[in-house]
Structure 1
Amino acid sequence: MIVAERRKFIKDLLLKNKSVKVSDLVELLHVSEETIRRDLVRLEKAGIAEKNYGGAILIEDAANVPVVPPVDERKRQYSLEKELIGRAAASLVKEGQIIILDAGSTTWFVGKHLPANASLTVITNAINVAEECSKDETASIYLLGGELRRNSMSLVGPQAETELKKYSADFVFLGTSGISLRQGFTSSDLFEAEIKRGMVSAGQKIVVVADHSKLEKAGLTTFCNFEETDIFITSDLTDKKILKEIEDRGVQVIVAPLSEETII
């Protein structure tokens, strides 16, 4: 069992039983106590667990993380807002550049608006993003391998993580499940969070895109903190005070203008 699978197993057990014991996990997973304790430290940093003597307990807020709907359904939520955010993000890209796009509804809109006939190299773990970008016949598309997550139409796992180490991109565009001033940019899926971290390591400029509904929400685990992020792109429906706080942490904020009445 790979690291991400093991931690997801522990997380699921915590959500079910509210607590876990190191001794039980050692027996169930056939790994050392030291390995389990490292996993619990990681889950504690992610805001899921609180370590105690001999194990860990579930943090109350972690049980209330919302279920993420399928990506096609998410594309229809705040679709105009995401379209304008995607267009603003895509405008950063210049001819001949290498970009990485992760799986998500807003990143799909980035792919939709990439400059045409620009001989781009696009690397993604999302089947629907690869399909959209392939409409430009001058683009070279690289689809990362791995296990298919049907909810997001993304490929995750150690194969994708290993492949990412081969690349160096001009831009990495990432979606996010939530944005917390304490935790940074977060994901509700441990597997996808690992891929996002790999993408962060492969990029020269890290760009996070998100509609206004993602602010002041926190997913299960942080994949990118503010210090690692170069640009955050959202709309003018987002709370300006929060955007100022994000700017104060060294992130360039780009706001796509639109009126609330036009949001679909």
Structure 2
Amino acid sequence: MSEAHRHHAIANLLEERPFVSVKELQLMLRVSAATVRRDIDKLDDAGVARKVHGGLAALEGGRQRKAVSLPFVENRDIAVEAKRAIAVEASKLVRDGSLIIVHGGSTCFEFGTRIANRNLRVFTNSMPLAAYLSEQGTCQLTVGGGDLHREPGILYDPARGGYEFYAAQFYVGALGVSQDGLLENHPLLVRFINDMCGLANEIIVLVDSRKFSERPSSVALPLSRVTRLITDDGLSDRDAAMLEEEGVAFSIAPTARGAA
């Protein structure tokens, strides 16, 4: 495949997806990682797409795209600086001695690493986070039971009855955010989020600013249920205005990119 044909194929893919990784492009185009990285640099220089850590992102301001949920091992390497900044900001809301629920996903994972050694009881169904906390943390850890769903990487039994605890806070991520609420593609996650929201006094949403341009198929939680949303300084004025109009309290986590 010629360079021009590769670039055309990549541009078409980004019409449907907000991000494509180097590994995915290698498999799709059947070329080396070095070739993919050269293509990414050229598309970024040409203003066709935006080079980001781990791959290539569609330009902001384009038409709304259907969100695609990436595997955790790929997603954790995307927008890392923003996710870590959000985790730092979110950790300031945690009260020592409390019980908190932490959802799955890469942003919540970054948050979990920040509070791993706090005086807390942490309940999570996230397999990656539970593994990290068991090896690296000192907090009390309770892992939810049920079947292992490798993607999205949680333990969950939808048929289970109510849990016998009540948490101070539920820290939750989402695949997308709109004026309708938190958005997900996976029906299991919609069910899980609703279950956990009924067990917490405060619902804290952790989403990087890319999530405001993604449109998954299902509303997992209306914005009226959100206590506070934390995002990064890439949040657009339009999306900030939407949150204000919906009455959502939100915090902006500063990044080095935003300070530049």
Q: Which runs of 5+ in 2 are unaligned?
A: 1-64
- CA deviation vs aligned residue, 1:236-260 (integer Å, no higher than 9, x gap): 1011221232133222101001243
For the aligned residue pairs, the C-alpha RMSD in angstroms reads 2.0
Deviates more, 1:240-249 or 1:121-130: 240-249
2:31 equivalent in structure 1: none
Report if aligned partners of 2:146, 2:155 keep a CA contact under 8 Å in 1.
yes
- Of 239, 250, 253 in structure 2, the residue corresponding to residue 253 of structure 1 is 250
| Alignment TM-score, normalising by the size of structure 2 | 0.70
Question: What amino acid is aligned across from residue 211 of structure 2 in structure 1?
Answer: K
1:68 equivalent in structure 2: 69
Report if aligned partners of 1:65, 1:188 keep a CA contact under 8 Å in 2.
no
Question: What amino acid is aligned across from residue 156 of structure 1 in structure 2?
Answer: Y
1:157 equivalent in structure 2: 157
2:177 equivalent in structure 1: 179
1:80 equivalent in structure 2: 81
Question: What amino acid is aligned across from residue 97 of structure 1 in structure 2?
Answer: S
2:102 equivalent in structure 1: 101
- Of 180, 202, 207 in structure 2, the residue corresponding to residue 205 of structure 1 is 202
1:144 equivalent in structure 2: 144
Distance 1:238 1:261, change over 3 A: closer
| Alignment TM-score, normalising by the size of structure 1 | 0.69
Whole-angstrom distance in 2 between the partners of 1:261 and 1:233: 15
The number of residues matched between the two structures is: 195
Whole-angstrom distance in 1 between the partners of 2:131 and 2:221: 26
2:244 maps to 1:243: no
Paired-residue identity, %: 23
Report if aligned partners of 1:157, 1:195 keep a CA contact under 8 Å in 2.
no
Whole-angstrom distance in 2 between the partners of 1:239 and 1:162: 41
Report if aligned partners of 2:67, 2:176 keep a CA contact under 8 Å in 1.
no
Give the secondary-structure state (helix, strand or coil) at the position aligned to 2:86. Answer: helix
Question: What amino acid is aligned across from residue 124 of structure 1 in structure 2?
Answer: T
Whole-angstrom distance in 1 between the partners of 2:217 and 2:90: 26
Whole-angstrom distance in 2 between the partners of 1:205 and 1:229: 8
Distance 1:262 1:144, change over 3 A: farther
Q: Which runs of 5+ in 1 are unaligned?
A: 1-63
Question: What amino acid is aligned across from residue 161 of structure 2 in structure 1?
Answer: T
Give the secondary-structure state (helix, strand or coil) at the position aligned to 2:130. Answer: helix
Report if aligned partners of 2:158, 2:191 keep a CA contact under 8 Å in 1.
no
Whole-angstrom distance in 2 between the partners of 1:91 and 1:131: 23
Give the drift of 1:65.
Answer: 3.6
Question: What amino acid is aligned across from residue 210 of structure 1 in structure 2?
Answer: V
Give the secondary-structure state (helix, strand or coil) at the position aligned to 1:260. Answer: helix
Report if aligned partners of 1:157, 1:191 keep a CA contact under 8 Å in 2.
no
Whole-angstrom distance in 2 between the partners of 1:250 and 1:238: 16
Give the drift of 1:136.
Answer: 2.4
Give the secondary-structure state (helix, strand or coil) at the position aligned to 1:215. Answer: helix
